[in-house]
Amino acid sequence: MKTILKLSIVVFSIFLLIENKAVCQMPAAISIEPANATVYDEITLTFDPEEACFLSGSLVGFPYVAMHSGITINGNQWQNVIGFDATGANGQSPILTLNADDTYSIIFIPFEFYGFAPGANVTQICAVFNNGSNWNEDGRDFESGGVNCIDFFIPILPGTPPVIPYLQAIEPDNGDQGASLNVQIFCLNTHFQEDTTTAWLNNDSEIININSIYAVNDTLISAQLSIPGDALSDFWHVNIYNSIDDTVTLLNGFFINDTTTFIPPMPPAISIYPPDATVFDNITLTFDTKLSCPEGDLFNADSVMMHSGVTINGEVWLNAIYFDSLGVNGQAPKLTYNGDSTWSIAFLPSAFYGIDPGVNVEAINCVFNGGNWLAGEGKDFDDEGNCVDFYIPLTLVTDVSVYEINTVNLFPNPVKDNLHIRSNEPIKSIAVYSSLGIANFKETEVNSTFYTIKTTDLSDGIYVVQIQFTSGDLNTYKILKK
3-state secondary structure 31-43: EEECCCCECCCCE
My answer on whether 336 and 242 are in the same domain is: no
64, 144 in Cβ contact below 8 A?
Answer: no
Considering the domain boundaries, does residue 434 fall inside one?
A: yes
Considering the domain boundaries, does residue 4 fall inside one?
A: no
- Out of 97-111, 135-149, 192-206, 355-369, pick the least confident: 192-206
Q: Could you tell me the CATH number of the domain that includes residue 236?
A: 2.60.40.10
Considering the domain boundaries, does residue 7 fall inside one?
A: no
pLDDT exceeds cutoff 80 at 361: yes
pLDDT exceeds cutoff 90 at 367: yes
pLDDT tens string 312-348? 877 889 999 999 999 988 899 999 998 888 999 999 9
My answer on whether 252 and 341 are in the same domain is: no
Whether omega for the bond prior to residue 27 falls within 30 degrees of 0, making it cis, is no
pLDDT exceeds cutoff 60 at 5: no
Considering the domain boundaries, does residue 208 fall inside one?
A: yes
Number of domains in the chain: 4
My answer on whether 316 and 278 are in the same domain is: yes
Domain boundary among 363, 383, 402: 402
My answer on whether 85 and 128 are in the same domain is: yes
pLDDT exceeds cutoff 50 at 203: yes
| pLDDT band, very low/low/confident/very high, at 238 (cuts 50, 70, 90) | confident
pLDDT at position 255: 67
Considering the domain boundaries, does residue 264 fall inside one?
A: no
70, 78 in Cβ contact below 8 A?
Answer: yes
- Out of 176-190, 259-273, 294-308, pick the least confident: 176-190
List, in order, residues 6 or more apart from 117 with CB less than 8 Å away.
none
Q: Is the pTM of this model over 0.85?
A: no
List, in order, residues 6 or more apart from 341 with CB less than 8 Å away.
288, 289, 290, 299
My answer on whether 247 and 296 are in the same domain is: no
Q: What would the DSSP string read from start to end of 160-173?
A: ---S--EEEEEESS
pLDDT at position 398: 55
My answer on whether 446 and 354 are in the same domain is: no
My answer on whether 111 and 171 are in the same domain is: no
My answer on whether 434 and 477 are in the same domain is: yes
My answer on whether 389 and 455 are in the same domain is: no
pLDDT exceeds cutoff 70 at 137: yes
pLDDT at position 254: 65
Q: Could you tell me the CATH number of the domain that includes residue 465?
A: 2.60.40.1930
Considering the domain boundaries, does residue 45 fall inside one?
A: yes
Residue 288: name the closest of 340, 346, 364, 365 by CA: 340
Residue 279 to residue 363: CA distance in whole angstroms: 9
My answer on whether 222 and 315 are in the same domain is: no
pLDDT at position 231: 77
pLDDT exceeds cutoff 90 at 256: no
pLDDT at position 61: 92
- Print the domain residue range for 336: 270-402
My answer on whether 39 and 138 are in the same domain is: yes
My answer on whether 188 and 143 are in the same domain is: no
| pLDDT band, very low/low/confident/very high, at 171 (cuts 50, 70, 90) | low
The whole-number average pLDDT for the span 276-287 is 88
Considering the domain boundaries, does residue 9 fall inside one?
A: no
Mean pLDDT of the chain: 80
Q: CA–CA distance from 312 to each of 86, 105, 331 (Å)?
A: 17, 33, 22
pLDDT tens string 54-94? 999 999 999 999 999 999 999 999 998 999 988 888 778 89
Q: What percent of the chain has pLDDT over 90?
A: 37
Q: Could you tell me the CATH number of the domain that includes residue 356?
A: 2.60.40
pLDDT at position 471: 77
Residue 41: name the closest of 159, 190, 122 by CA: 159
Considering the domain boundaries, does residue 243 fall inside one?
A: yes
pLDDT at position 188: 54
- Out of 48-52, 65-69, 205-209, 378-382, pick the least confident: 205-209
- Neighbour tally for 442: CB within 10 Å: 11
33, 44 in Cβ contact below 8 A?
Answer: yes
pLDDT greater at residue 90 or residue 204 = 90
| pLDDT band, very low/low/confident/very high, at 170 (cuts 50, 70, 90) | low
Domain boundary among 214, 232, 257: 257
Domain boundary among 228, 257, 286: 257
pLDDT greater at residue 437 or residue 1 = 437
